[in-house]
Structure 1
Amino acid sequence: MLKSLFSVGIFLLFSTNTFAQFSDSVHNQLSFTGTGNYSKTNTAKTYLLNNSLAYKLRLKKIELNSVNGWIYGSSGDGGLTNNDFTSTMDFNIRKNTHRLYYWGLLNYTTSYSLKIRNQFQTGLGAAYKLWDEKTNWLNVSDGILFETSSITQSDSVQVNYSTIRNSLRLLFHYQINKSITFDANGMYQPSLEYGGDYLVNAGAKVSIQLKSWLNLTSSLTYNKIGRTQKENLIVAYGVTLNNFF
């Protein structure tokens, strides 16, 4: 899998054109992000790889996004800490007003660190931009999700269940001098059926554009699962390769 991700990055690196943003004739974006961290002492070493491949299609009133991410990590004693995979597809439909849009979501997750064997989510909702400028915005969204999951709770007990969740999300995007971009997000998904069953996700990312196709990237991500009481905090840095066409 590492070889496949590396091959995709090389393909993007040598096939990018001069476009650096969407326009009337440019509707597609393909990007590969390769980040991670590594630490070594006299007695131990740890490492973490955080890779993602994303595709975006943007038309006048419709936007389609697909993101596939994989996190793999090992601790100093050689034990596995992360082997987490997420695949997400969502679409946004804008109406006559630019601030309001509707969204749909399909998501699959399996996570060693969060004790999620399999998790599938699908749902619909609406979002509104509280602050909207050309390159800067803040929006809030809410919707209903149906989820079916297989998780590992305490004492290695496997639990299979389904539930309905409310999904509340906040997204922030800010750009400085066309070269520095800051993104932040927060999401809270409580079950509408089971107390103490919730999902929390928060993150922040800073990107510095070096070329139209190359960004330096640093990110921080936090996840917590109420049912398993597992959480992770991931800090990574690396590069993002972009191709607009």
Structure 2
Amino acid sequence: MKWLSLVLIFFFCVQSFAQFNDSTHYYARFASTGVINKTDGANSYVWSNFATYNIDKRKYFLNTAASYIYGENDGGLTNNDFATTASFDYLKKQKRLYYWALVNYDKSYSLQITNRLQAGVGLAYKFIQDSTGREDFTISDGFLYEKSNLIDDKLGKDDYQTVRNSFRIRYHFTIKDILVIDGNNFFQPSILDISDYVIKATNTLSFKLYRWLSITAAQTYNRVNRTERENLLLTFGLTIDKYF
């Protein structure tokens, strides 16, 4: 059987970030990835976009981010997912133990989330602390209030509120200025029912070709156990960054 598979991947990033220091306080990035697969019997594609803007001051760190994923398979919709988040870290650069606050809003066709809002606070501890920003390993925990409107295959629309424990492992390692490993992974069970949990995992591996150019592989996984829905996205592409 004759077949043709075409994969087009484009990953473009613009960064206003060197290492945060006394004269560098801002960081912006935009990424766009796409995957197209065509065979004699099937056609599918996924288009993913991500943008972030950070502010790093002496006592606080503010991160804002937004993402949008759209996908189709044989003309049928598979992804129409939007998420935006803002997180605030206080005393992150001064102490190993610091405070965080988070607000997150998302909607997802693939996860059957009509609307979901999360807001909460907690503590984080840096097990590995590097002033140059080359290495970081942080564990955080806290509580989130969540208000959601979901679509359950059996119950239909599911409007509910809950409080979740939000446990996160975050890491960043630079190996010999060539290999960069990043991860941001959440486990969020409801304090009322541990079987009602949310998993969010994003991990990337970048290999630097030049100081400003890298080959990047990224993995994103989400699960909403209340509705037994999950998605997994793997992308490959190029990262362009510039420090100033």
Q: Take 2:224 and 2:122, find their aligned partners in 1: how far apart are those partners?
A: 22
- The AA in structure 2 aligned to 1:22 is F
Matched, 1:174 2:173: yes
Q: Take 1:110 and 1:95, find their aligned partners in 2: how far apart are those partners?
A: 30
- Larger helix proportion of the pair: 1
**TM-score if structure 1 supplies the norm length?**
0.86
- The AA in structure 1 aligned to 2:45 is Y
Matched, 1:68 2:66: yes
- The AA in structure 2 aligned to 1:193 is L
Tell me the equivalent position of 2:111: 114
Matched, 1:33 2:31: yes
Tell me the equivalent position of 1:93: 90
Contact 1:37 1:235 in 2 (8 A): no
- The AA in structure 2 aligned to 1:54 is T
SS in structure 2 at match of 1:114: coil
Unaligned runs of at least 5 residues, structure 1? 1-5
Q: Take 1:156 and 1:25, find their aligned partners in 2: how far apart are those partners?
A: 55
SS in structure 1 at match of 2:104: strand
Pick closer, same or farther for the CA change 1:96–1:21 going to 2, 3 Å.
Answer: closer
Pick closer, same or farther for the CA change 1:23–1:195 going to 2, 3 Å.
Answer: closer
SS in structure 2 at match of 1:162: strand
Matched, 1:185 2:184: yes
> How many Å apart are 1:212 and its aligned residue?
5.3
Pick closer, same or farther for the CA change 1:176–1:195 going to 2, 3 Å.
Answer: closer
**TM-score if structure 2 supplies the norm length?**
0.87
Q: Take 1:25 and 1:188, find their aligned partners in 2: how far apart are those partners?
A: 36
Tell me the equivalent position of 2:124: 127
Q: CA-to-partner distance for each residue in 1:125-183, whole Å, 9 max, x for gaps?
A: 01001122341121100001001000000147001111111000111111122232111
Contact 1:34 1:239 in 2 (8 A): no
Q: Take 1:95 and 1:21, find their aligned partners in 2: how far apart are those partners?
A: 15
Tell me the equivalent position of 1:46: 44
Q: Take 1:169 and 1:192, find their aligned partners in 2: how far apart are those partners?
A: 16
Tell me the equivalent position of 1:203: 202
* RMSD (Å) for aligned C-alpha atoms: 2.3
> How many Å apart are 1:220 and its aligned residue?
0.6
> How many Å apart are 1:214 and its aligned residue?
4.3
Tell me the equivalent position of 1:3: none
Contact 2:180 2:207 in 1 (8 A): yes
> How many Å apart are 1:36 and its aligned residue?
2.9
Contact 1:199 1:225 in 2 (8 A): yes
- The AA in structure 2 aligned to 1:44 is A
SS in structure 2 at match of 1:202: strand
Tell me which of 80, 85, 98 is aligned to 1:83. 80
SS in structure 2 at match of 1:125: strand
SS in structure 2 at match of 1:74: strand
Unaligned runs of at least 5 residues, structure 2? 1-9
Q: CA-to-partner distance for each residue in 1:187-240, whole Å, 9 max, x for gaps?
A: 110111235211012231012345555443220111110111001111012234
Contact 2:60 2:92 in 1 (8 A): no
Q: Take 2:47 and 2:93, find their aligned partners in 1: how far apart are those partners?
A: 42
- The AA in structure 2 aligned to 1:34 is S
Tell me the equivalent position of 1:162: 161
Contact 1:217 1:238 in 2 (8 A): yes
> How many Å apart are 1:111 and its aligned residue?
0.4
Pick closer, same or farther for the CA change 1:219–1:173 going to 2, 3 Å.
Answer: same
Tell me the equivalent position of 2:225: 226
- The AA in structure 2 aligned to 1:198 is Y
> How many Å apart are 1:46 and its aligned residue?
1.5
